[in-house]
Structure 1
Amino acid sequence: MKVAVINFSGNPGKTTLVDNLLAPRMAAQKFRVETVNTGALHDGHAEVLKAKDFGDLQEELMLLDSAIVDVGASNVEEFIKQMGQFDGSHEEFDCFVVPVVSEKKQQIDSANTIETLAALGVPAHKIRVVFNKVELEDASDVSRLFSTIFGLHADKKCFTLKPNAVVFRNDIFERLLAFQKSVSDIVADTTDYRTMLREAGDEDAKAHAVSMISAQRLAKSAQKNLDDVYQALFTQGERNGK
């Protein structure tokens, strides 16, 4: 599967979702289309390029069975322009994931992203939205919080609506850059931090152990949520306005 994560809006959580939702669940080469991206993990596994190199990117994608392309906000307009010039190049992607947050401006930008992809010829079943940074207490109120997106779907049916593709706000995402780890990395860490805490010889060691115990608890809840979102995006039945 080849997935592009894209949005005209800045800060909807594209790179966070690439590193924590998609990459751990896909055996895929990562590409970052970005001039500067301070939110990316320095994992060394992503090929970094600019949107003007779209021709090279599409040729690489032709040779791959699976890929994740993270399109940064600073390059998204050029990326779209280049995709339009290479007529039909959107067919190299199996899915376009559009992360959206609840702020009105960002919803409008997200709606514009969806409509632009549709205008390029991307079919509705390939365009999917992730509702990102949702407070847990608002889980039953997603359609109201994201009324612009739900309204677009009701009006034009130009994307596939996955109402359960909701990533809840979790403090672990704020801590990831400091750790230089993904949620999956933290969950997979088998270090016995409880023993480390008991045996710590100084305050710094104690603080590190406490921080990691807390992080693992947050990461486990985030991991369960991300598993559900991945299933909603890619394995549940389609909902194209039904």
Structure 2
Amino acid sequence: MKVAVMNFSGNTGKTTVSDQLLSPRMKAHRYAIETINAGASDNTADIERLKGRQFGELQAWLMTIDDAVVDVGASNVEDFVKYMGQFAGSHEEFDYFLVPAVAEKKQQADTINTVKTLAALGVPAKRILVVFNKVDIDEADELPELFSAVFGFHALEKKFTLKPDAVIFSNEVFERLRALKKNIAEVVEDTTDYRSQLRTASNDDDKQHAVRMVSVQRLAKSAWQNLDDVYRVLFGKVK
């Protein structure tokens, strides 16, 4: 499966979706379409970095592989779309276009514009998915009100597939992971007994590190389950 993650707006969580939701579950080749040295996956070594105007090069790679996650940075999305349009039919290299949405009005408007642009290129609605990001768990039942512009657009124009259960809840673990330069899979799979380390720590630095890691592991477990659920809603069974 090949998935492009994109939105004309910044601050919608594209890199979180790429690095924390998709990559650990797809085990796929990873590409960041960004201004070099500024943007997505700065702490990730195993990722190919390109600019939007290098779409032709990306397209050639995509033809030779089965699985890919392509994180399109906001600063390069216009070029990405422009050059994808020049290669007529090249959108067919992607199984899905995943558009992260957050509740702010401007970002919702940009989400709708992203969907319209993809539809104008010929991408069918079944391959354009929206994931609702950074939602407070207490507001889960208020999704249609929080994202009224997106839901209203879908009601008028069925240009994307609406999956109301595709909700990534706000969780401070994502900020903590950035500071640790780890992805959520690394924390979930870490079997270190940090509580034992805390008991045997001989200095304050070691104690604080153990405390941080116990907290991160606890947060990561709930976030991981949430991401598993979202992945199943969007794509079916997790690999």
Matches of 1:27 and 1:211, distance apart in 2: 28
Give the match's secondary structure for 1:84: helix
Deviates more, 1:41-50 or 1:164-173: 41-50
Q: Give the aligned partner of residue 16 of structure 1.
A: 16
Q: Give the aligned partner of residue 123 of structure 2.
A: 122
Q: Give the aligned partner of residue 7 of structure 1.
A: 7
Q: Deviations over 1:153-181 (max 9, x none)?
A: 10000000010000000010111111111
Q: Deviations over 1:63-90 (max 9, x none)?
A: 0111110000000000000011111000
Give the match's secondary structure for 1:102: coil
Q: 1:176 to 1:41 in 2, by over 3 A?
A: farther
Query: Contact 1:41–1:181 (CA<8 Å) still a contact in 2?
Result: no
Give the match's secondary structure for 2:130: strand
Matches of 1:150 and 1:157, distance apart in 2: 10
Deviation (angstroms), 1:38: 4.2
TM-score (norm 2): 0.97
Deviation (angstroms), 1:190: 0.7
In structure 1, list runs of 5 or more residues that go unmatched: 237-242
Q: Give the aligned partner of residue 216 of structure 1.
A: 217
Query: Contact 1:41–1:177 (CA<8 Å) still a contact in 2?
Result: no
Query: Contact 1:39–1:177 (CA<8 Å) still a contact in 2?
Result: no
Query: Contact 2:15–2:40 (CA<8 Å) still a contact in 1?
Result: yes
Q: Give the aligned partner of residue 152 of structure 1.
A: 153
Q: Give the aligned partner of residue 164 of structure 1.
A: 165
TM-score (norm 1): 0.96
The one-letter code matched in structure 2 to 1:101 is V
Matches of 2:40 and 2:72, distance apart in 1: 13
Q: 1:216 to 1:133 in 2, by over 3 A?
A: same
The one-letter code matched in structure 2 to 1:6 is M
Give the match's secondary structure for 1:133: strand
Give the match's secondary structure for 2:114: helix
Q: How does 1:93-104 map to 2 (within 5 A)?
A: 93-104=94-105
Q: 1:146 to 1:184 in 2, by over 3 A?
A: same
Give the match's secondary structure for 1:98: strand
Deviation (angstroms), 1:45: 1.1
Q: 1:39 to 1:71 in 2, by over 3 A?
A: closer
**RMSD value, Cα:** 1.0
Identity score, percent = 59
Matches of 2:216 and 2:113, distance apart in 1: 36
Runs ≥4 residues deviating over 4 A: none
Q: How does 1:177-196 map to 2 (within 5 A)?
A: 177-196=178-197
Q: Deviations over 1:214-240 (max 9, x none)?
A: 00000000000000000010128xxxx
The one-letter code matched in structure 2 to 1:98 is V
Query: Contact 2:5–2:71 (CA<8 Å) still a contact in 1?
Result: yes
Deviation (angstroms), 1:40: 1.6
Q: Give the aligned partner of residue 91 of structure 1.
A: 92
The one-letter code matched in structure 1 to 2:34 is E
In structure 2, list runs of 5 or more residues that go unmatched: none
Q: Deviations over 1:9-54 (max 9, x none)?
A: 0010001111100000002100000004445252211100101110
Q: Give the aligned partner of residue 61 of structure 1.
A: 62
